[in-house]
Amino acid sequence: MNVIVVGLSHKTAPVEIRERLAFSEPSLEEALRRIRELPGIRESLIISTCNRVEIYANSVDSAQGPPQLKKFLSEYHQVPLEQIQDFLYNYTEQEAIHHLFRVACSLDSMVVGEPQILGQVKKAYQDALDYRATGGILNKLFPRAFSVAKRVRTETGIANHAVSVSFAAVELTKKIFESLEEKVVMLVGAGEMAELAARHLKNSGIREVFVTSRTYQRAEKMAEEFQGTPLPFDKFFNFLDKADIVICSAAAPHYLIRPDRMEKVMKARKNQPMFFIDISVPRNIDPKINDIANVYLYDIDDLEKVVEANIKERQKEAIKAEEIIRAEAKQFYHWLENLEVVPVIKSLKEKVEGIRKKELEKSISQLKGLSPEQIETLEALTSSIINKILHDPITQLKKQECEEDDSLYLEAARKLFNLD
């Protein structure tokens, strides 16, 4: 029973290689079936995302399993092995378990702490279950990975710091306003980052969304997505006093929002706070509006500084997460190894007990006239001798479950006592 993984990711392969080895949703069942037909492969599971393609398996032989899976990837996708060999990695046994736990906890992701990968791993596991590709080992391993991911998110702050510009903008907004409920946001321009920020804000309870764009149809389309109100681009200033949060990504060649007009807007708002996020390059909001009381302005550089600081915070939390993962991987591997220790000990006891009984019967048949009491004494004597002889080997085998080289002891026991 050997857990193995073969794959590639954004860390080892460019996108043009990753996409050539990706598995589409309709192809999964056939691919898993073909993997299970490989000699010595008992279980399998495929994780295929834009950033990684990985095959997990339970293999009889940890040395032969990875080459088989690499050959499968080559043949299934009709890509010569020499073209992908250098991009592939493989892990076996405890390293494979450790790798899966890091993937599920998003420590191996492009953005450390992102939540999407856990959902992708869970879906991959569910697909493998649906196609009956997993068994006793993977059905223990993957739920454990999900538990480890939950523990990491509970015990560390790895997901608590925004590492995207759009989400950093939302975090800053929450620092300005105690609550985002009943607040109004205006999108000036319909850029992708502004849309993402608006989506985060909408999920946080924003009451209303105004959208304006140089192309009115674009404003209508985005407003419909947010159940908001489109505004003509040349009229948006007439509604500016109604907005608590303004996200600007209009890409105009000059300032659209200036201090002189903002003085009038703040007067109309009775000096209630306004928060501006200028994602445009060049900037579309005059930085001098920051000098107006209760006006807060952040530009793209400010947001990127927040993101940079948050990445450092996540890296600190990732150190704590790594410690949890190492301990959990070691614990699971020892459980897995125990599945090997128990059969070895059982086989050893059965073999020695069989020898004892056979030799005892032979001796009793040669010693004529033994009483039942004498036969019982011989039975107890031989059992005691066997138990004493086996005590140290069995104790050492159980003890080695917690050591790094336990597999060496198991293999030695099999060979010395010819248990195979």
pLDDT digits (tens, 9 = 90+) for 173-223: 888 887 888 899 999 987 777 788 888 888 888 899 999 998 999 899 988
**Percentage of the chain lying above the pLDDT 70 cut:** 95
pLDDT at 106 over 80: yes
Identity at 79, one-letter amino acid code: V
Max CA pair span of the chain: 121
What residues does each domain of the chain span?
Answer: 2-155, 165-307, 343-416
The whole-angstrom separation of Cα 400 and Cα 333 is 13
Task: Specify which of 224-228, 265-269, 353-357 reaches the highest per-range mean pLDDT.
Answer: 265-269
Classify strands 2-9 and 89-92 as parallel, antiparallel or unpaired: antiparallel
Lowest-pLDDT choice from 99-103, 105-109, 220-224, 394-398: 394-398
Classify strands 52-59 and 41-48 as parallel, antiparallel or unpaired: antiparallel
Tell me whether the omega of the peptide bond preceding residue 282 falls within 30 degrees of 0, making it cis. Answer: yes
For domain 2-155, is the CATH number 3.30.460.30? yes
Confidence of residue 240 (pLDDT cuts 50, 70, 90): very high
Contact 117, 109 (CB under 8 A): yes
pLDDT for position 349: 83
pLDDT for position 194: 77
Q: How far from chain centre, in Å, is Cα 173?
A: 29
Mark whether 50 is an active-site residue: yes
pLDDT for position 346: 79
pLDDT at 402 over 60: no
pLDDT for position 197: 80
Q: For the range 174-183, what are the long-range contacts, defined as Cβ-Cβ under 8 Å and sequence gap of 24 or more? A: 174/204, 176/273, 176/275, 176/296, 177/244, 177/273, 177/275, 179/205, 180/204, 180/205, 180/206, 181/205, 181/206, 181/207, 182/207, 183/207, 183/244, 183/245
The whole-angstrom separation of Cα 75 and Cα 41 is 17
For domain 165-307, is the CATH number 2.60.40.10? no
Greater model confidence, 356 or 32: 32
Average pLDDT over residues 97-123: 91
CA angle 133, 93, 5 (to 5 degrees): 50
Average pLDDT over residues 334-348: 74
The whole-angstrom separation of Cα 299 and Cα 292 is 16
pLDDT at 152 over 90: yes
pLDDT for position 125: 97
What's the Rg (C-alpha) of the chain? 33
CB crowding 84-123: b at 16 or more within 10 Å, else e: beebbebbbbbebbbbbbbbbbbbbbeebbeeebbebbbe
Confidence of residue 347 (pLDDT cuts 50, 70, 90): confident
pLDDT for position 404: 46
HEC profile of the chain: CEEEEEEEECCCCCHHHHHHHCCCHHHHHHHHHHHHCCCCEEEEEEEECCCEEEEEEEECCCCCHHHHHHHHHHHHCCCCHHHHHHHCEEEEHHHHHHHHHHHHCCCCCCCCCCCHHHHHHHHHHHHHHHCCCCCCCHHHHHHHHHHHHHHHHHHCCCCCCCCCHHHHHHHHHHHHCCCCCCCEEEEECCCHHHHHHHHHHHHCCCCEEEEEECCHHHHHHHHHHCCCEEEEHHHHHHHHHHCCEEEECCCCCCCCECHHHHHHHHHHCCCCCEEEEECCCCCCECHHHHHCCCEEEEEHHHHHHHHHHHHHHHHHHHHHHHHHHHHHHHHHHHHHHHHHHHHHHHHHHHHHHHHHHHHHHHHHHHCCCCCHHHHHHHHHHHHHHHHHHHHHHHHHHHHHHHCCCHHHHHHHHHHHCCCC
Which of 50, 105, 248, 402 is catalytic? The answer is 50
